[in-house]
C-alpha cells in the first residue's frame, strides 16, 4: 500500500508525531483516500508511536472519519431534530430518488455516497447538508437535487 504510506508520512511530517496531532493527520489521510483503511490506521500508529487501538478509537469516534470506501462526493444530511422538523425527510427522499440509492449507500459508479450526520452546525438554517466540504442550507427537495448538478 505504497500510496497510503506516502500520505501517512507526509501527514505526520506536516503535523508532527504528538498525540494532539492525531485528528488532523487522520483528516488529511481520509481526505486523500475518501476513507481510512485498517492498513492506514496501523501505519499512522507506527509513524506516531501510538497503539493501533488508540488510533482506531479516535478514528471511529468521529462520524466524518469514514472507515469504508465511499463515493467521490459524500453527501451528509443533518439529522438533528431541528432539521427533521424543517423537512429533512423530504430532502432525503428527493436525493434517494435522484441518485437511485438509499441512505447509507453509494451509487454504482462510486460518484456519490448518501449519509446522515448527527449535526453539521447549520441547524439554524436547516434543513442542511454537506456535499464534501460545501454547505447547503434552507433546502427544499428541489434545491437539494439541483445542488447535485455541480458534481455530475
Could you tell me which residues come within 8 angstroms of residue 151 by beta carbon, excluding any fewer than 6 positions away?
72, 73, 111, 112, 131
- For residue range 22-60, list pLDDT tens digits in order: 999 999 998 888 889 999 999 999 999 999 999 999 998
43 contacts 8 by C-beta, under 8 angstroms:
yes
Helix (H, G, I), strand (E, B) or coil at 36: coil
User: Is residue 18 domain-resident?
Assistant: yes
Cell numbers describing residue 9:
508520512
> In terms of domains, do 21 and 81 share one?
no
- For residue range 92-125, list pLDDT tens digits in order: 999 999 999 999 999 999 999 999 988 888 989 9
Domain carrying residue 50: 2-61
- For residue range 57-90, list pLDDT tens digits in order: 999 888 788 888 888 999 999 988 998 999 999 9
> In terms of domains, do 81 and 40 share one?
no
> In terms of domains, do 57 and 100 share one?
no
Amino acid at each position: 500500500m505504497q500510496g497510503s504510506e506516502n500520505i501517512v508520512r507526509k501527514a505526520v511530517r506536516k503535523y508532527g508525531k504528538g498525540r494532539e496531532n492525531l485528528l488532523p493527520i487522520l483528516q488529511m489521510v481520509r481526505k486523500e483516500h475518501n476513507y481510512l483503511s485498517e492498513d492506514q490506521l496501523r501505519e499512522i500508529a507506527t509513524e506516531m508511536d501510538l497503539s493501533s487501538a488508540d488510533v482506531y478509537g479516535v478514528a471511529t469516534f468521529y462520524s466524518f472519519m469514514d472507515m469504508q470506501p465511499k463515493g467521490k462526493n459524500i453527501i451528509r444530511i443533518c439529522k438533528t431534530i431541528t432539521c427533521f422538523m424543517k423537512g429533512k425527510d423530504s430532502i432525503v427522499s428527493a436525493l434517494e430518488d435522484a441518485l437511485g440509492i438509499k441512505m447509507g449507500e453509494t451509487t454504482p459508479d462510486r460518484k456519490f455516497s448518501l449519509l446522515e450526520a448527527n449535526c453539521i452546525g447549520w441547524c439554524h438554517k436547516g434543513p442542511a447538508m454537506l456535499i464534501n466540504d460545501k454547505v447547503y442550507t434552507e433546502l427544499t427537495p428541489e434545491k437539494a437535487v439541483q445542488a447535485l448538478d455541480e458534481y455530475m
